[in-house]
Amino acid sequence: MTLASKISLGRLLLVPVFVVLVLYYVMSIREGRPQEWLRLTALTVFVIAALSDAVDGFIARHFNQRSVFGAWIDPIADKTLLLTGIVTLSFVDWGLQRW
Average pLDDT over residues 1-9: 94
When pLDDT is cut at 50, 70 and 90, the band that residue 97 belongs to is: low
Q: What's the gap between Cα 87 and its chain centre?
A: 12
Q: Where are the domains of the chain?
A: 3-90
pLDDT tens figures, 59-79: 999 999 889 999 999 999 999
Does residue 4 contact residue 59 with C-beta atoms inside 8 Å? yes
Superfamily of domain 3-90: CDP-alcohol phosphotransferase transmembrane (TM) domain (1.20.120.1760)
pLDDT-above-70 percentage for the chain:
96
pLDDT tens figures, 27-43: 999 898 999 999 999 99
Within 8 A by CB and 6+ apart from 28, the residues are: 34, 35, 38
